[in-house]
A and B are shown apart, each in its own frame.
Chain A
C-alpha cells in the first residue's frame, strides 16, 4: 500500500454543544480514491470540514503529508490548509451565484489574476469533461442547473493541480448520465495521481470508483479496507450500511 497522504488520528469535533466526531481514525493513501460511506448523520461531512479546518478538531490530530494541519496545538487556518494543495467541494457546492462561471474559475485558480491567465490546456481538458461550463462560461453561475453547478464545483477544485481533493456527495440529485461524467472525471484525475477522498451515498458510484473504503457510524470509522472486498461481501455491506444501502442503490 502506498503511503498515506492524509492521516486522521482519534479526531474529535464539537460543533457548539454537540459532540459530532468521537475519535475518527482514517488514512487516505496517495494516488487512490478513498470512499467515505455511512448513513446520514454519521459524521462524513463533519470529517471533511474538520480536515479543511472549517471546524477545529478538539482532540486528536490531522496530518497532511506528515505535517500536522489540525488538532489542538497544530490547527492551521482554512486558507493555509487549502494552500498546501487541498481542494474542497462542499455538499452545498459553495458556488458564487452572483459571479459568472468564468469568475468562479478565476477565483479558484490562485495563480490567475484574470481569465486570460487561466491555463488554457487545463481549461480545455475541463471543458472536455464538463462541456456545459464552456457553453455557460460568461453566465452567472446562479443560473446553472443543479447538475451544472455540481460540475462547476468540481471544475473549480481541479482548475489547478491539487494533491488532495475532498468532495462531499457530488452525485446528490444528479441524473445518471451526469454521474457517469463525474466518475469519468475522477478516474482521469486519479490517473494524474491526484488523491481523492469522496463522501458518497450512492453505492454504485462508490463501487465504480473506490480503491479504498471507510465506513462511518456515530462519529467513528467502523470499517476500513479495500472497496473491492466490501463490494463482494454482501453480508458485510448489509451489516455496515444496512438500510441506507438499499435506499441509495
Chain B
C-alpha cells in the first residue's frame, strides 16, 4: 500500500517536458506549484530489460547470451529502420501500406548492383574503402526506394485514401508487381550480398564473439533513431508530423497542407525501408525477391506492438521482436516461428492499443 502511495506521489510530482534551452523564451513554471507531470512511461522499457535479463539464466552461458543479445539488437534496429516509416505513414494518413516490403526488396537488390560494381572497394582490406562501398550502396538504395515511394504514393495510394480494404488489396498488389519487376531486372534467383572484407568476422570479447557487421548495424540503427527523434521533436516539420498523427483535421485548420507533408513522410519512409533492405540483405548475406514479403509480416507485428503511429513504440517493439527471434531461435527453434505472434498476443493482452498508444487514435 505504501509503495503504491509513494508511486502515486512520484507520479504527481512536477517535472517538465524536455525543451532545448535555446528554445525557451524565458518562461518557466512557477516554483512550488502543483503542476501536472510530463511523465514518461517506463514500463515497456522495463519489459525490454526484463526480456534481456530473463534470457540470461535460460541460455546459461554469458558469452552466448551476449552474442545473441547483440544479434537481437542488430536485427531489431534494422527492423526499426524499416518499420519507422510505415508507422508514420499509418499515423499521419491512416494509410495501411502493405506494399512497404517492395521498398525493402528494391533497396537490397540495388545494393547488390552497387556493391557488385564497387567490387574492388568492398574486396579491399581497408575498412574505409569497405565502408565507402557500403554507404554508397545505402545512399543509392535510399534514393531508388524514395523515388519508387514517390511514384507508389501518387499512382497506388492516392486514389484509395480513407478506404482501408482497398488500400490493403492494392498495396499488396503493388508489392507483387514490384516483386515481379525486380525478377525481370535482377532475375528470380537468390543473389549473394557478401559483406565487405573488413566487416566479416567477429570481435572476441572474453568468451563472447560479436560479429563486426552487427556492431555496425546497431550503430547505424541508433543513428537513424537519434536522427528521427531529433527531426520529430526539434523541428517544425517534426512537430507537424506529430500533431498530424493525432489530429490531421486540426493541422489543416491551422493552415498547413497535410497532403504535402504526407508525401514527404511517405518518400522518407520508403527511403528508410530501402536502407533497411540493404542492411537486412547484408545481415542475411543474400537477397531474394521475396525478401519484402518476408519482412512485411515482422514490421506489421512491430508497429502493432509499438502502438500504431508511435515512433518510440516502434523502436521498443522492434527491439523486442529482434531479441525474441534470436533467443527463441536458440532456446527452442521450433517455437521461434511462433514467438513473434506470441509476443504480439501477449502485448496486446496487456496493452490493447500497443506499448505507446497515440492519443486520439
Contact A94 B240 (CB under 8 A): no
Which of chain B's residues 170-205 have a Cβ closer than 8 Å to chain A? none
Contact A107 B360 (CB under 8 A): no
Contact B246 A96 (CB under 8 A): yes
Contact A107 B358 (CB under 8 A): no
Contact A82 B28 (CB under 8 A): no
**How many Å from the CB of A54 to the closest CB on chain B?**
6
| Chain A proximity mask over B23-39: 1 for CB below 8 Å, otherwise 0 | 11101111001011110
Contact of A102 (CB < 8 Å), options: B19, B30, B243? B19
Chain A positions within 8 Å of B19 at CB level: 100, 102, 115, 138
Q: Using A79-B258, A103-B239 as known contacts, say yes or no to A94 and B253 having CB atoms under 8 A apart.
A: yes
With both beta carbons as reference points, the residue of chain A lying nearest to B245 in the complex is identified as A98
Which of chain B's residues 1-44 have a Cβ closer than 8 Å to chain A? 16-17, 19, 22-25, 27-30, 33, 35-38
Does B249 sit within 8 A of A, measured CB to CB? yes
The 9 lowest CB-CB distance pairs between A and B, nearest first, are A143-B36, A94-B250, A82-B255, A78-B252, A138-B16, A96-B243, A115-B23, A83-B255, A79-B257
- Chain B contact patch, size range: 35 or more
Chain B positions within 8 Å of A127 at CB level: 27
Consensus secondary structure, chain B interface? loop
Contact B239 A107 (CB under 8 A): yes
Chain B positions within 8 Å of A115 at CB level: 19, 23-25
Chain A positions within 8 Å of B17 at CB level: 100, 138-140
Chain A positions within 8 Å of B255 at CB level: 79, 82-83, 110
Contact B239 A137 (CB under 8 A): no
Contact B242 A99 (CB under 8 A): yes
Does B161 sit within 8 A of A, measured CB to CB? no
**How many Å from the CB of A169 to the closest CB on chain B?**
16
Contact B35 A142 (CB under 8 A): no
Does B334 sit within 8 A of A, measured CB to CB? no
Contact A107 B243 (CB under 8 A): yes
Q: Using A116-B22, A143-B36 as known contacts, say yes or no to A136 and B254 having CB atoms under 8 A apart.
A: no
Does B94 sit within 8 A of A, measured CB to CB? no
**How many Å from the CB of A151 to the closest CB on chain B?**
15
Does A4 sit within 8 A of B, measured CB to CB? no
Contact A54 B253 (CB under 8 A): yes
Q: Using A90-B250, A96-B247 as known contacts, say yes or no to A116 and B25 having CB atoms under 8 A apart.
A: yes
Contact A140 B252 (CB under 8 A): no
**How many Å from the CB of A122 to the closest CB on chain B?**
12
Known contacts A94-B249, A110-B255, then 10 further A-B pairs from the complex at CB < 8 Å, ordered by chain A residue: A54-B252, A79-B255, A79-B256, A97-B246, A99-B242, A100-B17, A107-B239, A114-B236, A134-B27, A140-B36
With both beta carbons as reference points, the residue of chain B lying nearest to A83 in the complex is identified as B255
Contact A107 B257 (CB under 8 A): no
**Complex A-B: 5 CB contacts under 8 Å:** A99-B239, A102-B19, A115-B19, A135-B30, A140-B38
**How many Å from the CB of B302 to the closest CB on chain A?**
20
Q: How many chain-A residues does the 8 Å CB contact rule pick out?
A: 40
Chain A positions within 8 Å of B25 at CB level: 115-116, 118, 120, 123
**How many Å from the CB of A86 to the closest CB on chain B?**
9
Does A203 sit within 8 A of B, measured CB to CB? no
Does A106 sit within 8 A of B, measured CB to CB? yes
Which of chain A's residues 135-170 have a Cβ closer than 8 Å to chain B? 135-140, 142-144, 156
Which of chain B's residues 283-324 have a Cβ closer than 8 Å to chain A? none
Contact B36 A96 (CB under 8 A): no
| Bound Cα distance A52, B29 (Å) | 35
Contact B29 A137 (CB under 8 A): yes
| Chain B proximity mask over A108-136: 1 for CB below 8 Å, otherwise 0 | 10100111101010010001000000111
Does A88 sit within 8 A of B, measured CB to CB? yes
Does B251 sit within 8 A of A, measured CB to CB? yes
Q: Using A77-B252, A96-B250, A106-B236 as known contacts, say yes or no to A135 and B29 having CB atoms under 8 A apart.
A: yes
From A94, A96, A115, A134, residue with most partner B Cβ within 10 Å: A96
| Bound Cα distance A52, B249 (Å) | 10
| Bound Cα distance A143, B38 (Å) | 8
Chain A positions within 8 Å of B29 at CB level: 135-139
With both beta carbons as reference points, the residue of chain B lying nearest to A78 in the complex is identified as B252
Contact A97 B36 (CB under 8 A): no
| Bound Cα distance A98, B33 (Å) | 22
